Structures are given as C-alpha cells and as structure tokens.
Amino acid sequence: MPRELISVVIPTLDEEAALPRTIASCAALGPHEIVVPDGGSGDGTRAVAESLGASFLPAPRGRGRQANAGAAAAHGRLLLFLHADTRLPAGAGGEIRRVLEDPAVSAGVFRLRLDAAGVAYRVADAGATLRSRWLRQAGGDQGLFVRRERFAAAGGYPPVPLFEDIELSATLGRLGRLVVSRLAVTSSARRYTAEGPWRRQARNWALRLRHALGEDPASLARRYGSRGDGRPREAVVLLARAPRLGTVKSRLAAGLGPERALGVYRVLGETVAHRLAPALHAGRVGLVAVTPPDALAEVEAWLGPPWRAVPQVEGDLGARIAGAADAAFVAGAHRVVLLGTDCADVAPADVEEAFASLARSDAVLGPAADGGYWLLGLNAPEPSLLRGVPWGTGGVLESTLRAARAEGLDVALLRTLSDVDRPEDLESLAARLPAGGAEDANLRAVVRSVGLDPTTR
C-alpha cells in the first residue's frame, strides 16, 4: 500500500540561512510536500524555498496565521508543522504515520534536542519533553503532527501573537491523546545562546506561568519581544493599499475621477515614506502592511527602501491595524507606531515624539482634524482599542479614547494633523504647501495637476 502524503508547513520570516537544512531533513518523511507560508521576508527566503522545491505562500505575518494559511494550501491529510530552524530525524515519516494511525491519538510531537552542548541546553530539552507529557502542551520547535480533520476540529492555530502552539496543543490534548515520539528533532539554540540559556529558560517559564494564570497572550507579547537576538526594538508600520486604478481614495475619486485620485494617492504615499525614512535609524525597522497580499513587490518598488512590505490580514480597518501591530510585536519590536500614507504633514519629529511618549504612556494617538487619528502607537497589542470603532466617521478618535479609558490605559496625544481623503482636504493641503523647495515638489505638481495652485504659507 502506498505511504500517505505528509504535508509539511514551515512558517518563515527571514530564514534563508536555516531553511535549506530543514527542507533537506524532510527527505526522512517519504512522500511529502512542503509549503512555506511567509510573513514578508526581506532576505532570500523565497528564492531558497522555491529552489528546493517548496511551495512559497505569502501570508499575513504571525506564526499561527502563517501556519493556518499553509495548512489551507496543503493537499495532504497528515499535517506536520515545523519551525524553519528545526530538523527532522531519520525515520520521522514512519513515526508520524504510525502514531496517527491510532484513532484515539489527537496529535503527536517529537522530543526536542537543541543543537548546542552544555547542561543548560539538556535541561531545556528535558523540560520540553516533560511539559508535553505532563501538561499536554508542546512548543512549536518540537514539530507538531496531526490529521487534518483533528486540526480543523481544534479550530487551527488561535489568532494570538504568542503561545499559539501551546494553546493549539492543549486543545488537541483535550480532543484525544497527545503522543510524545521516541524520536527527537534538532532545533537551533541560537536564541538561547544569544540571550544566555539559563536566562532564556527562566523567562520562558515565567511567561508560561503568566499564561497559565490567565494573562492574555497579547499582553505577554511585549515581554516576549524583549529578547537578545538582534531583532529591532521599535517598528514604524505604514498601512497601504496597492496603488491600482479604482481601488484607492474612493471619496477623492468621487470628486476628481479615479485616475487623478490614483495620482494623488501615489504621491502622498511616496512623500510619507520618504519623509519618515530618516526616522528608521539603528534598532528601528520600517514595515508596510499591504493589501492585497499579492502586491508586496509592487508596493516595495513604489515606496522604495528601507521599507519592507508584509501582507495585511483580512477584516475591517481595526482588524487590519491590529494584525499589522501583531506582526511587528511578533517580529520582536517593543514599541510600534502605525500610520497611513495620506497625511502629508507628518515629519520624523512626530515619530520620535510618539516613541518618546510610549516610554511614559500605554498608547499614543495623533488626532486628525476630521475626528479620526493619523497615528497610533502601542507598547503591546491592544485589540480592545480597535473593536467596535465607527471607522470612516468623525467619532473614531473619541471612540478609541473611550475604549482606552475603559481598559485603564494612559494615552498621550500628539499634534493634530489633516489626512487627505476628500477634494476639500486636497484644497487645504494646496493652501499649506510652500511655493518652493525640492522636498514638496511632487506634492505641488500633483495638486496643480488637479487644478489647484499651491501658495506660500
């Protein structure tokens, strides 16, 4: 009888160095396919994955979201979720098929072995195995394998920015037996080594204890981001739609026509990206959360370096802002500032003030003249601020402040600026633009193209 196909899902983010060894280890599976759902890598991850025969899939950033997207795209009934720096042992395919033959088994994981020598690393290995056996909780670096129908019954990976693997394995453990294999995967010890193996373990167990006591994974993500692995400490995130005719600035297009509205949108985005680039100094990364997800390369070509495109999640504006913030926190940022691309007056000093305010406050808002906001700064994911907001109305700012008060959050306010959403907003911008100066040349050109004359202040 032919051996059943195993679908391997390997979520990635800038893993070109680790990915070849992980994919090579999958030869131990027998018949298999590899899906690489990627959260917006800026290195050669895509080229590496495709050169080694894997299916590359741009996906909303966040390991759980990426894993769910990969599972949906995979063809096999047997699913194996691997970290990009985790390698399979010989005999892994036979072990997975044997374990999952038992209908009483919900899922299985491998034992863990970190690829570094020393007592601290062996303690970490043993702790992972004991946690899986006693608490029915498995870390993502252990390689979770599960039948597709049981994965669906568990609801897939939960939409949380941290401990998505612990929560899924706990759910699967309630649906049947969670088997710990006699075989061990080999996982990179790079983060343990960078932070110090004992310190890393102490922090991991402290976070797990807080999680077990009911603390929200979103609030824990900030603590998890405080890691010594060289990832950026702060992130500036622009939310942008691909500059395509008929899909941007609908209120502006209603007065100017779609072609002119597209021209304005393109120049506004270029202006904001160029102005804020100097704010992306050491320890700070610039991301662009993009919709639709097939437009990552298009948007990176439009806005240029140092901005790196990542896909937006689906949903209303609140869900998309929350998803973009989650992606930055999961990537390791301690503080995140999010903006649109339609506020032509924003300056690097505004971003610096936002990050400085986050050192004293829970969140920061930049009020917009139309009752919304042009900037949101966060120290941790705060999804409650983004639910039930009357997007597109003059009540956005007040609704957000009300939600912050209900959560006991201290919010700092920046200066009030104006977005460009309607023809009258463009007229106001034209009146504010100086007549000369190279920095605003493209803005002056685009407002002239729609029949307006920039004037001196």
**What is residue 371's DSSP assignment?**
S
Tens of pLDDT, residues 365-408 = 999 999 999 999 998 888 889 999 999 899 999 999 999 999 88
Q: What is the pLDDT of residue 224?
A: 56
Tens of pLDDT, residues 402-441 = 999 998 899 999 999 999 988 888 888 877 776 655 556 7
Q: What are phi and psi of 276, to 5 degrees?
A: -90, -10
Give the chain's largest Cα–Cα span.
80
Q: How far is C-alpha 397 from the chain's CA centre?
A: 25
Burial of 258 (0-12, 13-18, 19+ CB in 10 A): middle
**Domain 234-449 falls in which CATH fold?**
Spore Coat Polysaccharide Biosynthesis Protein SpsA; Chain A (3.90.550)
- The answer to whether 6-225 and 234-449 have equal CATH topology is yes
Q: What is the pLDDT of residue 259?
A: 93
- H or E stretch including 52? none
Q: What is the pLDDT of residue 386?
A: 94
From the first residue on, what is the mean pLDDT of each consecutive set of 10 residues in the chain (457 residues)?
Answer: 86 90 94 93 89 93 90 95 94 95 94 92 88 81 94 91 87 92 92 78 79 74 49 84 93 90 92 92 85 92 90 90 87 88 92 91 94 94 91 95 92 94 85 65 72 55
Burial 49-65 (b: 16+ CB within 10 A, else e): beeeebbbbbbbbbbbb
Listed by start position, the domains of the chain span 6-225, 234-449
Contact 61, 39 (CB under 8 A): yes
Report field, pTM of the whole predicted structure over 0.85: no
* Torsional sign, CA 395, 398, 401, 406: negative
Q: What is the pLDDT of residue 222?
A: 54
CA 281 to CA 279: how far, in whole Å? 6
CA 73 to CA 84: how far, in whole Å? 18
Which distant-in-sequence residues (6+ apart) come within 8 Å of 98 by Cβ? Answer: none
SS3 state of residue 178: strand
**Which CATH architecture describes the domain 6-225?**
Alpha-Beta Complex (3.90)
Q: What is the pLDDT of residue 228?
A: 42
Q: Which residue has the tokens 């609908």?
A: 250
Which distant-in-sequence residues (6+ apart) come within 8 Å of 237 by Cβ? Answer: 286, 287, 288, 289, 324, 325, 327, 328, 336, 337, 338, 339
Q: What is the pLDDT of residue 334?
A: 81
